[in-house]
A and B are shown apart, each in its own frame.
Chain A
């Protein structure tokens, strides 16, 4: 086999296996940084041996075995912290790491749990949200630091530093490598879901820069969500999050117009929505609902997205139901952004005046003053009520607040349309997504 071809195969196998290998080794050596080093050593061994000896039948098991052998070697060398480690080394050897089929079986037993442990560790609340996100993408997503840096529009050394510090923080805090149980589990799980959804949103609606979507991040978040749904199938909110991401992804194609401009939900050509993803999203939502209990925030958001996904035309969405679902979401989160979305839904269900009253109440409380979507919604409702001059001022204000170049253009165009009275057919209300 040509070396370059072998290298390509190794790289592909490595990307697939890395999270599992690092997870498995972390359980053995109880140290994330050390496990990553061992895994890397295994990769180097693969690069040396596979081109000449051929690709093993189970590359993952091979890499795991190679990593384990190195773990044992390292433990042996560190004889000064002798006894405990020797015992561990004996345990490891008892598993005969040379015998690939044994390890394969052992991996089958534990690997799911190890991955789950790794995910919970990477999303530990002792870390900042930025650190959790970077670490999760690095460890579970298998992204390089460079890829993460490009996705989040920060310099590569910043991400590298962030990851190094995060691992140090975990070691210093002696965070155990485990899936939390009892009451802690719920809050830790929300932290995991939050990180995944944050990655998704970063891709879905870039907060800065010229790209409206960076679908690669959406794909990565979806993959993590689908993996998690297999690892923790009993958690309704996991299915709720997956449903939400599948349904939102189904609209990715329709969100960008022919000249690259943003297209809001109600203006989207629904024929371009991805029916396969809609089907998957609705199925995931049913799985969440089957688990019973009071729906959590992700499930509620997925249920809202499902209202739109099921409607062939924007007017067909059950806006009264959407408004009721948002009202429940307000009870759970109290988020001003959710209240704003609720106002939009009420505006659709009961008319613009009712929506405007809710937006005005929200803004009089001093909420969302620097969030561009608030004046944009207000402008829209005012426009519908025929108050063009006020609407224009709101669109201008919104344009000044957004950090997204294409969104800025859209808002400026709407302000201009109000000014010249060329708004034509009334623009539907945009909805934050």
Chain B
């Protein structure tokens, strides 16, 4: 199973304060461990929200809103995509992560949907739609 592991933003990360050399070293070592264990699929750090944009939807309307955004703790400063065998395993990996910032910070773990997880949500109508799509694309290839 896959998990998106998100590093939440802090005042520092939003202010664009770069991590210390020591933290970079520790993070590098941690990332290396993830690679060596064969669990790291992808991972990136994100610029502060001042360089971000939101598109707000309201019915048919779309509004583009420039950053920065206020609710710092809800913002994401970086992420890993990890492939592990269980939720306990991903928690154990995250526990081993160096504190990504000075002082208080938080990392959030969210499971990625796999095809099977849709289960009941994939209604017969949706299944039929998917089936039609497949058939028509097959027809095109004839």
Contacts and interface: CB of A to CB of B under 8 A. Distances in A.
Interface of A: 8-9, 11-13, 15-16, 55, 59, 112, 216, 219-220, 222-227, 230-231, 253, 256-259, 263, 267, 269, 276, 280, 313-315, 425-426, 428
Contact of A227 (B36, B115, B141): B36
Contacts of B89: 12, 15-16
Interface in B62-104: 81, 83, 85-86, 88-89, 91-93, 95
Contacts of A280: 41
Interface of B: 35-39, 41-42, 81, 83, 85-86, 88-89, 91-93, 95, 115, 122, 127, 130-131, 133-134, 137-139, 141-142
Nearest to A246: B41
A230 B41 contact: no
B109 to A, nearest CB: 13
A143 to B, nearest CB: 9
Given A9-B92, A267-B138, A425-B139, A15 B41 contact: no
Nearest to B126: A258
A12 B88 contact: yes
Contact of A8 (B36, B41, B88): B88
B92 A276 contact: no
B85 A219 contact: yes
Main SS of the interface on chain B?
helix
Contact of A258 (B38, B85, B92, B127): B127
27 contacts: A8-B88, A9-B88, A9-B92, A11-B88, A12-B86, A12-B88, A12-B91, A15-B86, A16-B89, A55-B95, A59-B92, A220-B85, A223-B38, A223-B39, A223-B83, A225-B38, A227-B36, A227-B37, A227-B38, A230-B38, A231-B36, A256-B115, A257-B134, A258-B130, A269-B133, A425-B138, A425-B141
Contacts of A269: 130, 133-134, 137
A20 to B, nearest CB: 10
Given A8-B88, A12-B88, A12-B92, A425 B42 contact: no
A313 B115 CA distance: 22
Nearest to A57: B96
Nearest to A15: B89
- Across chains A and B, which 4 residue pairs bring their CB atoms closest together, nearest first? A226-B38, A12-B88, A223-B38, A12-B92
Contacts of B36: 112, 227, 230-231
Given A12-B92, A258-B131, A276 B41 contact: yes
Contacts of A226: 35, 38
Main SS of the interface on chain A?
helix
Contacts of B141: 313-315, 425, 428
A259 B83 CA distance: 27
A32 B39 CA distance: 26
A232 B133 CA distance: 44
Nearest to A112: B36
B131 to A, nearest CB: 6
Contacts of A313: 141
Contacts of B134: 257, 263, 267, 269
Given A9-B88, A112-B36, A231-B36, 17 more contacts: A8-B88, A9-B95, A12-B92, A16-B93, A216-B85, A219-B85, A222-B83, A223-B37, A223-B83, A227-B36, A230-B35, A230-B36, A230-B38, A269-B133, A425-B139, A425-B142, A426-B142
A11 B86 CA distance: 11
A365 to B, nearest CB: 33
B30 to A, nearest CB: 12
Nearest to A222: B38
A276 B139 contact: no
Contact of B85 (A9, A15, A256, A428): A15
A267 B88 CA distance: 37
A13 B92 contact: yes
B4 to A, nearest CB: 12
Nearest to A253: B115
